[in-house]
């Protein structure tokens, strides 16, 4: 019914859910409307690039929508303009009291956003970028301020991103499906070809750029037969067309590739990275790609994991495999991103010396320093697979001579699949603020990702996308907050969760106090709530195999044994200690290794990830493990009921389509939470034989 209703709209941009946080809603406050209007009679622009033109259009459209005025745009005529856009080299900034030295310390995406009088005393707002990318980011910053109803009469902002690479990974397949996609089909592909809806791709570029993202890969890391051809002449003209769209918004395009492409596309009999025929083939292929896309970002590779081809087939290591590709890309300033998600998905967990958590570190730590300088190793935030709670990967920080990229997952594969609300910014903040002690106290993940810890030439943060062709992009409208928050955190990991949350709510829903209060409450509590009714104390998994939604306590699909948690009648958890377990704890730097290895100091929320304990083990909270399981699962359901109560209070205060969309999802979440509660509690009651001390019904 929603799809049919949308077809009657003039454009998708009439749909609030589609506009996401770029609502640009009409300002109803007359005082603020008058204040803002006084600034936007004319926009002066110095320079003419596709990125600058995007900034002009975004600013003009946003102002017209919010203030109902259409400012004139004067190219290379700044005298009469009240808003001035340009780079510090294109504008005589000394006339406005600024020195070029101010831009010396900024990276190429930095900017100054400043209200200042010129020599005649006329006040102007300057959006001055180090490059045209800085102009675009300054434009989005100004628009955020206006959308948030902030004053702009005395701006003095100098800003630049903390991370060089701020990247979105699409897991889209060329048949139009999305691996781990929960928001419809691909916006890029349709029935083994590229989509003709370029306007939707452009709007996605706008959304990403507005949060500060600057790179995207547009196909799944699992590259199958048809997708292999994306680097062939059959598809490169269409890849070029998409690259042109993203380029205009400061976003560089990458492609995931099949490591066996020399065989599949080049008719070679090998993909051995040390074979000269293979090296020559990749060099020729890369040269061909850059003829179509001169600023092509490079390749992403998933190799030797989950049955994907890689250098192991030829008795080569990951450095051999990555360097042959990096060597071909290097003359064009291209980047090779090599994923560290490598493990034997058929390993037998009955042998506790085999620990999937160890795989990334064991594979890559020994070859640190053997990669070319245009190789980046992309490392998942945890050692397992985007669980609701797991420790930070010990490989992050352990590589002292290799570029590294932190990988997060905006798509809620194991965190509710955009049916359940699970706001991930609090989780990501914990990860980014985690102290690795790699170079002593204060060596946090955000410093490693930002490249400052080891002076990495290429570094940053990437994430798996959560968007599809659903009208609201993300299935559940509240899941847009994860996409927005990811971009803002990659730009500045020091932003607080509360700042990001409030900004997103104001941009998306406006300023009604009840709307802000209730949505903020739901978002800020949702991660802990999801953890409460799903997996306890860091144990992970326990989901249905294959699709990964809903409880299946013994359903761990990547194990010949068929379970992950090692629960028996006496206790639960995975022993990863040095003395009696898998030795995984030894991969951390001191004092983390001692904290995790000791039962006394290991934090409760990760206890069962690191230790096998009796059900009667007393947590630091004072609860036993079994009572914690019972309590949290009952509490999680009650919290979802509270979310529904708070959401229902907003009827009539927000767009009805959005209201009904989220309401429907919350009731799905309640059903899911109840299912988790009953199955988990019943399982562990029967396994342990210990009753709930609050005498609640356990089936």
399-427 pLDDT, tens digit per residue, is: 999 999 999 999 999 999 999 999 999 99
Asked whether the predicted pLDDT for residue 190 surpasses 80, the reply is yes
Query: Residue 351 pLDDT > 90, yes or no?
Result: no
pTM for the full predicted model:
0.96
Secondary structure in 3-state letters for 430-448: HHHCCECCECECCCEHHHH
Per-residue pLDDT at 12: 84
- Could you report the per-residue pLDDT of 72-98, keeping only the tens digit for each? 998 877 888 999 999 999 998 888 888
The band of 2, judged by pLDDT with boundaries at 50, 70 and 90, is very low
Query: CA dihedral in degrees (249, 251, 253, 254; nearest 10)?
Result: -160
- The pLDDT of residue 699 is above 60: yes
Measure CA 352 to chain center: 33
In this predicted structure, what is the pLDDT of residue 198?
97
Residue 341: partners with Cβ closer than 8 Å, 6 or more residues away: 302, 305, 360, 380, 385, 407
Task: Give 129 or 6, the one with higher predicted confidence.
Answer: 129
640-676 per-position pLDDT tens digit: 999 999 999 999 999 999 999 999 999 999 999 999 9
Residue 346 has pLDDT above 80, yes or no: no
Q: What is the mean pLDDT of the chain?
A: 94
What's the pLDDT tens digit per position in 195-250? 999 999 999 999 999 999 999 999 999 999 999 999 999 999 999 999 999 999 99
Q: In what order do the strands lie in the sheet with 72-75?
A: 72-75, 42-45, 83-87, 123-129, 111-117, 156-159
Mention every residue, 6+ apart, whose C-beta is less than 8 A from residue 455: none
Mean pLDDT of 380-396: 97
**pLDDT on residue 9:** 42
- Please tell me which residue, 698 or 184, carries the higher pLDDT value: 184
Residue 5's pLDDT band (cuts 50, 70, 90): very low
Instruction: Return the pLDDT at 457.
Output: 85
Average pLDDT over residues 437-452: 98
Element spanning 571, H or E: strand 571-572
pLDDT of residue 603: 98
Catalytic residue (choose from 327, 413, 470, 639): 413
**What pLDDT, on a 0 to 100 scale, did the predictor assign at position 121?**
64
Q: Is 376 a residue whose pLDDT tops 60?
A: yes
Which of 64-68, 302-306, 383-387, 482-486 is predicted with the least confidence, judged by mean pLDDT?
A: 302-306
Tell me the average pLDDT across 546-575. 84
Q: Is a pLDDT exceeding 50 seen at residue 8?
A: no
User: Rounded to the nearest 5 degrees, what angle is found at the Cα of 514, between the Cα atoms of 512 and 518?
Assistant: 125
Measure the CA–CA gap between 321 and 304, rounded to whole angstroms: 10
Annotated active-site residue 385? The verdict is: yes
Residue with token string 């071909």: 328
Start-to-end CA distance of the chain, whole Å, equals: 39
- The one catalytic residue in 61, 306, 557, 641 is 306
Q: Is the pLDDT score of 374 beyond 70?
A: yes
In this prediction, what percent of the chain has a pLDDT beyond 90?
A: 88
Residue 3 reports pLDDT greater than 60: no
Q: Report pLDDT digits (tens) over 506-534.
A: 999 999 999 999 999 999 999 999 999 99
Catalytic residue among 175, 240, 385, 517: 385
User: Does 387 have pLDDT greater than 80?
Assistant: yes
pLDDT band at 4 (very low <50, low <70, confident <90, very high): very low
At 188, is the pLDDT very low, low, confident or very high (cuts 50, 70, 90)?
Answer: very high
Q: What is the percentage of the chain residues whose pLDDT exceeds 70?
A: 96
Give the residue with greater pLDDT, 22 vs 561: 22
Q: What is the pLDDT at residue 555?
A: 80
Specify the range with the lowest mean pLDDT, choosing from 3-12, 523-532, 583-592: 3-12
Amino acid 695: pLDDT:
94
* Own/partner pairs, 139-146, CB within 8 angstroms, 24+ separation: 139/55, 139/58, 139/59, 139/85, 140/58, 140/209, 140/210, 140/212, 141/111, 141/113, 142/59, 142/113, 143/24, 143/58, 143/59, 143/62, 143/210, 144/503, 144/507, 146/27, 146/36, 146/62, 146/63, 146/66
pLDDT of residue 562: 52
Backbone angle region of 76, left / alpha / beta, with phi > 0 → left and psi within -120 to 50 → alpha: left
Instruction: Taking the CA atoms of 418, 450, 524 and 650 in sequence, report the sign of the dihedral they define.
Output: negative
For the stretch 645-652, contacts whose Cβ atoms lie closer than 8 Å and that sit 24 or more positions apart, written own/partner, are: 646/518, 646/521, 646/522, 647/518, 647/522, 649/514, 649/518, 650/514, 650/515, 650/518, 650/519
Q: What pLDDT, on the 0 to 100 scale, is given for residue 120?
A: 63
Contact 364, 305 (CB under 8 A): no
In b/e form, how buried is each residue of 590-615, taking b as 16+ CB within 10 angstroms? Answer: eebbebbbeeeebeebbbbbbbbbeb
**pLDDT tens, 532-549?**
999 999 999 999 999 999
pLDDT digits (tens, 9 = 90+) for 593-627: 999 999 999 999 999 999 999 999 999 999 999 99
pLDDT at 116 over 90: no
């Amino acid at each position: 019914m929603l799809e049919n209703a949308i077809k009657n709209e003039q454009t998708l941009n009439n749909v609030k859910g589609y506009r996401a946080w770029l609502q640009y809603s009409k300002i109803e406050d007359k005082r603020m409307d008058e204040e803002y209007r006084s600034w936007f009679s004319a926009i002066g622009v110095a320079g003419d690039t596709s990125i600058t033109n995007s900034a002009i259009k975004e600013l003009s459209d946003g102002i017209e929508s919010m203030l109902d005025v259409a400012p004139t745009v004067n190219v290379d005529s700044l005298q009469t303009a009240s808003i001035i856009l340009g780079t510090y080299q294109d504008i005589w900034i000394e006339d406005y009291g600024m020195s070029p030295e101010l831009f010396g310390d900024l990276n190429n995406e930095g900017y100054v956003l400043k209200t200042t009088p010129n020599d005649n005393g006329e006040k102007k707002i300057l959006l001055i970028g180090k490059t045209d990318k800085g102009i675009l980011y300054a434009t989005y910053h100004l628009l955020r301020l206006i959308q948030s109803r902030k004053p702009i009469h005395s701006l003095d902002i100098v800003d630049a991103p903390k991370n060089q690479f701020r990247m979105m990974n699409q897991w889209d397949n060329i048949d139009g499906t999305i691996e781990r996609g929960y928001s419809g089909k691909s916006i890029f592909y349709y029935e083994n070809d590229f989509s003709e809806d370029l306007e939707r791709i452009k709007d996605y570029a706008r959304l990403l750029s507005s949060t500060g993202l600057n790179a995207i890969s547009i196909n799944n890391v699992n590259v199958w037969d048809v997708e292999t051809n994306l680097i062939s002449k059959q598809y490169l003209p269409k890849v070029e067309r998409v690259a042109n769209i993203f380029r205009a918004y400061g976003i560089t395009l990458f492609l995931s590739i099949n490591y066996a492409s020399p065989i599949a596309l080049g008719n070679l009999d090998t993909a051995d990275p040390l074979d000269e025929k293979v090296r020559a083939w990749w060099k020729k292929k890369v040269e061909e790609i850059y003829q179509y896309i001169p600023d092509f970002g490079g390749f992403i590779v998933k190799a030797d994991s989950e049955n994907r081809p890689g250098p192991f087939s030829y008795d080569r290591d990951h450095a051999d495999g990555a360097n042959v590709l990096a060597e071909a890309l290097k003359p064009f300033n291209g980047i090779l991103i090599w994923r560290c998600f490598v493990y034997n998905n058929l390993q037998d967990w009955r042998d506790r010396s085999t620990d999937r958590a160890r795989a990334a570190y064991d594979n890559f730590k020994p070859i640190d320093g053997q990669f070319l300088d245009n190789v980046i190793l992309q490392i998942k935030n945890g050692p397992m697979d985007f669980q609701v709670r797991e420790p930070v990967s010990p490989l992050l920080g352990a590589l002292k001579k290799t570029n590294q990229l932190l990988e997060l997952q905006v798509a809620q594969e194991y965190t509710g699949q955009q049916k359940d609300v699970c706001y991930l910014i609090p989780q990501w903040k914990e990860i980014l603020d985690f102290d690795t002690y790699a170079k002593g106290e204060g060596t946090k993940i955000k410093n490693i990702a930002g490249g400052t810890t080891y002076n990495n030439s290429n570094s940053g943060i990437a994430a798996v996308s959560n968007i599809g062709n659903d009208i609201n992009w993300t299935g559940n409208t509240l899941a847009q907050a994860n996409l927005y928050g990811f971009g803002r955190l990659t730009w500045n990991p020091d932003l607080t969760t509360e700042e990001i949350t409030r900004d997103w709510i104001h941009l998306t829903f406006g300023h009604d106090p009840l709307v802000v209060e209730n949505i903020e409450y739901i978002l800020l509590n949702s991660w802990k709530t999801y953890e409460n009714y799903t997996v306890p104390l860091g144990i992970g998994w326990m989901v249905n195999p294959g699709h990964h939604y809903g409880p299946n306590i013994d359903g761990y699909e990547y194990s010949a044994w068929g379970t992950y948690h090692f629960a028996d009648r006496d206790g639960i958890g995975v022993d990863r200690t040095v003395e009696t377990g898998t030795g995984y704890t030894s991969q951390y730097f001191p004092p983390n290794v001692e904290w995790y290895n000791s039962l006394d100091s290991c934090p409760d929320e990760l206890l069962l990830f690191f230790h096998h304990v009796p059900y009667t083990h007393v947590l630091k909270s004072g609860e036993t493990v079994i009572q914690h399981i019972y309590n949290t699962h009952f509490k999680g359901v009650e919290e979802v009921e509270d979310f529904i109560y708070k959401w229902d209070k907003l009827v009539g205060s927000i767009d009805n389509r959005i209201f009904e969309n989220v309401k429907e999802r919350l009731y799905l979440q309640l059903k899911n939470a109840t299912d988790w509660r009953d199955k988990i509690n019943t399982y562990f009651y029967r396994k342990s034989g210990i009753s709930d001390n609050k005498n609640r019904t356990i089936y």
